[in-house]
C-alpha cells in the first residue's frame, strides 16, 4: 500500500484548492490495522488506492517508510485533520457534516469544533445504529440525510472499511464534496474518547494509551492481530530497502497542484 509523502498542512491546502476548483475527493488515513485488512483483501486495497489522498496515520507506517528509504514528513491523523480541515472550512464558509459515533457524540463534537472555529457551519450530524450498512434501507436512510444537507466536507467516523465503503457510494452523489474517513476522531473531538498525551503520540505510543483506556475492546486487535503484523511490516521494509524495492511504496501521482 502506497501513501502520499505530505504533511497535515499540505493536505489541508490541497483540499482547499480542490474545493475552490469544484473537485471533491476522499482522504484515507491508514494505520497498522487498516494495512493488515488491506493485505488480506484485494478489494480493500483497491478502495484505499482509489482515494485522492492517502496519508499515514500510524507511526509504524512512518517508521517503515524510513526503513525502506522513502521517509514521510510524519503522521497525518484523522484526529488532527478533523480540527485543521474544520478550521479551513470555517475560513472558506464551507459546511461540514459529522457522521458516526454513539448517540449524542456527533452533536458534542460539533459544539467543540464550532467553539474552536467560530463561523464553522455544521450542516448536519448523524449517529446511525451499528449494522445500518448491512441493509439497503439502512444505507439509503443515511445517504439521503447526507445528500440533503449538501456538505462540502464530510467526517465519517464509522471505522474501516465501513466508513470508506459508504463514502465511495456518497462520492457518486456528492462529487464536489470531500470526505475524511476518520474512525474515532469524532469521539476525540467530542471529548468522549480520551486521546493520548502529545509525548505518547510523538513516540508512537498512542496505541498503548488506547489499549489502557479500552482494554476489553482493543486488546485482541492490538496485541494478537496488529503487533505481529507491525513487526513483519518493519522487517519487510528493511529488507525491501536492501533489495532496492522500496521506492514503489510512496505515491507520487497528484491530479493537480494546490
> What CATH number should be reported for the domain whose range is 8-194?
3.40.50.2300
The residue to which cell 482509489 is assigned: 50
pLDDT value of position 258: 33
Pairing of strands 178-181, 122-126: unpaired
Q: Mean pLDDT for each 10-residue chunk of the chain (258 residues)?
A: 93 97 97 93 94 94 91 94 98 98 96 97 96 93 97 97 95 97 95 88 86 88 89 87 56 43
CA atoms of 221 and 219, how far apart (whole Å): 6
Length of the chain: 258
Distance in angstroms (rounded) separating the CA atoms of residues 254 and 258: 10
Cβ-based burial of 134 (10 A; exposed 0-12, middle 13-18, buried ≥19)? exposed
Neighbours of 55 (CB within 10 A): 27
| DSSP-derived pairing of the beta strands 96-100 and 153-157 | parallel
CA atoms within 13 A on the CB side of 208: 9
The per-residue pLDDT for 104 is 96
Tell me how far apart the alpha carbons of residues 79 and 112 are, in angstroms, rounded to a whole number: 13
Q: What is the structure's pLDDT at 245?
A: 55
What's this model's pTM, rounded to 2 decimal places? 0.89
Instruction: Give me 22's grid cell.
Output: 469544484
Q: Which residue matches cell numbers 505530505?
A: 6
Torsion sign across C-alpha atoms 201, 122, 34, 224: positive
Name the grid cell of 122.
455544521
- Give the model's pLDDT for residue 243: 67
Sheet holding 122-126, edge to edge: 53-54, 25-28, 178-181, 153-157, 96-100, 122-126
The secondary structure element, H or E, covering residue 10 is: helix 8-20
Amino acid at each position: 500500500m502506497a501513501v502520499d509523502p505530505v504533511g497535515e498542512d499540505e493536505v489541508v491546502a490541497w483540499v482547499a484548492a480542490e474545493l475552490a476548483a469544484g473537485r471533491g475527493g476522499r482522504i484515507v488515513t491508514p494505520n497498522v490495522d487498516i494495512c493488515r485488512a488491506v493485505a488480506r483483501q484485494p478489494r480493500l486495497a483497491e478502495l484505499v488506492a482509489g482515494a485522492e489522498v492517502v496519508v499515514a496515520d500510524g507511526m509504524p507506517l512512518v517508521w517503515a517508510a524510513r526503513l525502506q528509504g522513502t521517509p514521510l514528513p510524519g503522521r497525518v491523523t484523522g484526529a488532527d485533520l478533523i480540527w485543521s480541515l474544520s478550521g479551513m472550512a470555517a475560513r472558506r464558509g464551507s459546511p461540514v457534516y459529522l457522521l458516526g459515533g454513539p448517540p449524542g457524540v456527533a452533536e458534542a463534537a460539533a459544539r467543540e469544533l464550532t467553539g474552536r472555529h467560530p463561523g464553522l457551519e455544521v450542516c448536519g450530524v448523524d449517529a446511525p445504529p451499528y449494522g445500518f450498512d448491512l441493509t439497503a434501507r439502512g444505507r439509503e436512510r443515511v445517504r439521503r440525510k447526507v445528500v440533503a444537507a449538501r456538505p462540502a466536507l464530510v467526517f465519517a467516523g464509522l471505522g474501516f472499511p465501513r466508513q470508506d465503503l459508504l463514502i465511495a457510494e456518497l462520492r457518486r452523489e456528492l462529487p464536489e464534496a470531500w470526505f475524511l474517513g476518520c474512525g474515532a476522531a469524532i469521539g476525540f473531538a467530542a471529548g468522549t474518547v480520551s486521546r493520548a498525551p502529545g509525548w505518547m503520540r510523538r513516540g508512537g505510543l498512542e496505541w498503548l494509551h488506547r489499549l489502557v483506556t479500552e482494554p476489553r475492546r482493543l486488546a485482541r486487535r492490538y496485541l494478537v492481530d496488529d503487533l505481529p503484523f507491525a513487526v513483519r511490516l518493519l522487517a519487510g521494509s528493511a529488507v525491501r530497502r536492501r533489495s532496492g524495492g522500496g521506492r514503489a511504496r510512496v505515491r507520487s501521482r497528484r491530479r493537480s497542484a494546490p
